[in-house]
Amino acid sequence: MHHLPPAPQPEAAAAAQPAPLSDPTALRLVGDIGGTHARFALVRGPQGRPAAQHTLSTGAYPDLASAVAAYLQAVGARPVEAAIAIACAIEGDELRMTNNRWQFSVEATRRRLGLQRLLMLNDWEAMAYAVPAFQPPDLLHLGGGAPVAGAPCALLGPGTGLGVSSLVRSRGGEWVAIAGEGGHVSVAPGNEREADILRVLWTEHAHVSAERLVSGMGLENLYRAIARLDGVAPQPLAAAEVCARALARADAQCEEALLSFCSLLGNVAGNLALTLGARGGVYFGGGILGRIGADYLLERSPLRRSFEAKGRFAPYLQRVPTYLIRAEQPALLGAAIALGVQPGEAGPDKD
């Protein structure tokens, strides 16, 4: 299985580089900030990979600068530049997180930390930058053919919400990550049962987005709607409980909720693949898929079948490869690449 071979062009393609390295030998900080945890690491040299990784609780610190300062004090480091992946939209200097209380100025944070440069990235934008540097153990092939060299790639990650991004090559040959709000697109049912589920949820939400169905809250919404359709009183189950009961085959409504979750994820991913022409592959990540497990996704889940179910374009999608991202902390690697570090392109069949 061949993955992301270099596209033919006059000069070798560089890794994604929003800005060149100011000093190739300098020490750099990378981070990945979610609603609950802040993960940090250090990168040294033009081809280094994240090292000295630590995870902190975001609730223990009032803002990003305080968390970074605590990490740097613990590891005894003074980086000159930093790239931070964060679970929010990057719009202007003032950033406000959706799932925790952090709100801060990027420029004030840079000055407070004494950094020459502070690059803020959407978390799934950083994930996209990491794709060309994945090593063979970092990916599980979920179906489809071989990726097309230089073709666009799509990424989806159901967790607290639904992260969506893409990776495309510029005319100059560099990989460029594109962040968006694809988790909030409308959902089309793939069968009568899904249409019934949507009818239930339309009584609760004026707009049932992909995130309302394919995320932690999505699992809870699916379970509750299915219970109502079956005439069963829904229990107050969190997403992790719905998932656990489904995997144990201990609750019929939970089982159907998880199957529907995977089917709808495949449906949304197929739409994204067609929209982008993502013949370079579709990459799934996020905490929920890790909890579900590879065996379920490969053997019991309708994800791949739903991904391909696009009528006349089913043969097109049958050739598009899908992968489960198994790399640890891929957003940290993507943040390093966004700074200009070039750890090298890899793939499932490269050494």
Q: Is 34 annotated as contributing to ligand binding?
A: yes
Q: Is 25 annotated as contributing to ligand binding?
A: no
C-alpha neighbours within 13 Å on the C-beta side of residue 182:
24
Quick check: pTM over 0.75?
yes
Q: What is the pLDDT of residues 168-192, one digit of tens each?
A: 998 888 899 998 889 999 999 999 9
pLDDT on residue 158: 94
Q: Is 178 annotated as contributing to ligand binding?
A: no
pLDDT on residue 22: 62
Q: Is 280 annotated as contributing to ligand binding?
A: no
Q: Is 63 annotated as contributing to ligand binding?
A: no
Collapsing DSSP to helix, strand or coil, 241 comes out as helix
Average pLDDT, the chain: 90
Q: Do domains 27-128+330-339 and 136-326 have the same CATH topology?
A: no
Per this entry, what is the length of the chain?
351
Q: How many CB atoms lie within 10 A of CB 152?
A: 18
CATH fold, domain 136-326, is: Hexokinase; domain 1 (3.40.367)
Quick one: pLDDT band at residue 35, thresholds 50, 70, 90? confident
Quick one: pLDDT band at residue 3, thresholds 50, 70, 90? very low
DSSP characters over 117-150: EEEEEEHHHHHHHHGGG--GGGEEEEE--PPPTT
Report the 3 state secondary structure along 145-193: CCCCCCCCEEEEEECCCEEEEEEEECCCCCEEEEECCHHHCECCCCCHH
> Which of 346, 259, 277, 349 has the alpha carbon at shortest distance from 49?
346
269 close to 284: Cβ distance less than 8 angstroms: yes
Q: So where are the chain's domains? A: 27-128+330-339, 136-326
Give the homologous superfamily in CATH for domain 27-128+330-339. Answer: ATPase, nucleotide binding domain (3.30.420.40)
Q: Is 86 annotated as contributing to ligand binding?
A: no
